[in-house]
């Protein structure tokens, strides 16, 4: 089976536990205004790859992944758009190396239809961008009904997840939106970790190279104080919802 790859990273340290092999796949249904990989959006681009080719790429680094408690994370784009390929890859890596597997996903899919992939996935890194539906459409071009349903599906089916939220000043940092996120987190039973990812401008050059106008021109990265404020608001709302 073939997949469409954007790129790989052999020593990732932020997309799951330990040192990880990161496979970035091509294709995404969202068009996030802050996306730092807009060159992954098109589904018919990228390099065609096989499972065997990725297994061979991973082999030289196995000792690092194993000794650090790491493994492989498949990201994108949106990796679940290539669910059959990723499931075959994860199955083979489990069979050969018993390697820890993770998906970095927006959740924009029907998880009932790709449960076979989740069966061979140890961890889901789920990006919750904003809970308000209309603001989500403005930010990503798509509603978030599927994404919220995916979060509930993962919780209901006992699937471990890390929840991640990109904090963009003036866009995803309103108190009411952060409180809604905290309330949502309170309903999820399998969240092992929650992370705020400060917005950055490192992908602007890719937008320019693609001839696209960058929609967040002039928006600054959040300060440490703004990040701490967001954590406080989210946690307070989560605790209140749990009472």
SS3 string, 26-73, reads CCCCCCCCCCCCHHHCCCCCCEEEEHHHHHHHHHHHHHHHHHHCCEEE
Whether residue 1 is predicted with pLDDT greater than 90 in this model: the reply is: no
Task: Give residue 202's pLDDT.
Answer: 84
Task: Give residue 36's pLDDT.
Answer: 87
Whether residue 109 is predicted with pLDDT greater than 90 in this model: the reply is: yes
If pLDDT is split at 50, 70 and 90, which confidence band does 110 have? Answer: very high
Whether residue 25 is predicted with pLDDT greater than 90 in this model: the reply is: yes
Give bridge partners of residue 24 from the DSSP assignment: 7, 75
**DSSP single-letter state for residue 106:** -
How far the first Cα of the chain sits from its last, in Å, is 49
Task: Give residue 203's pLDDT.
Answer: 82
Taken as a whole, the chain contains a residue count of: 243
Q: What is the mean pLDDT of residues 176-191?
A: 98
Stated as kind and residue range, the H or E segment containing 6 is strand 2-12
Task: Give residue 164's pLDDT.
Answer: 98
Task: Give residue 119's pLDDT.
Answer: 97
Sorted by sequence, the CB contacts under 8 Å of residue 236 that are 6+ apart come out as 179, 182
Helix residue spans in the chain (DSSP H): 51-58, 62-68, 83-97, 115-118, 133-140, 145-156, 175-186, 204-209, 224-242
Task: Give residue 225's pLDDT.
Answer: 98
Greater pLDDT, 203 or 84: 84
Q: What is the pLDDT of residues 133-151, one digit of tens each?
A: 999 999 999 999 999 999 9
Decide if 114 contacts 83 (C-beta within 8 A): yes
């Amino acid at each position: 089976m073939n997949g469409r790859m954007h790129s790989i990273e052999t020593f990732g340290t932020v997309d799951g536990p330990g040192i990880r092999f990161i496979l970035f796949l091509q294709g995404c249904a969202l068009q996030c205004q802050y996306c730092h990989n807009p060159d992954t959006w098109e589904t018919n681009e990228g390099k065609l790859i096989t499972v065997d080719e990725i297994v061979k790429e991973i082999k030289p680094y196995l000792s690092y992944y194993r000794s650090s408690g790491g493994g492989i994370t498949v990201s994108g784009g949106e990796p679940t758009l290539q669910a059959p390929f990723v499931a075959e890859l994860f199955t083979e890596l489990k069979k050969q190396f018993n390697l820890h597997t993770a998906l970095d996903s927006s959740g924009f899919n029907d998880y009932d239809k790709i449960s076979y992939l989740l069966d061979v996935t140890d961890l889901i890194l789920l990006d919750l961008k904003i809970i308000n539906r209309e603001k989500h459409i403005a930010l990503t071009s798509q509603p978030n009904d599927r994404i919220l349903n995916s979060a509930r599906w993962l919780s209901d089916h006992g699937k471990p997840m890390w929840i991640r939220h990109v904090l963009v000043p003036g866009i995803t940092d309103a108190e009411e939106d952060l409180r809604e996120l905290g309330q949502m987190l309170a309903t999820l039973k399998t969240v092992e970790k929650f992370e705020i990812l400060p917005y950055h401008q490192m992908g602007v050059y890719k937008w320019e190279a693609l001839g696209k106008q960058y929609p967040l021109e002039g928006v600054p990265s959040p300060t440490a104080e703004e990040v701490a404020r967001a954590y406080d608001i989210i946690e307070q709302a989560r605790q209140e919802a749990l009472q």
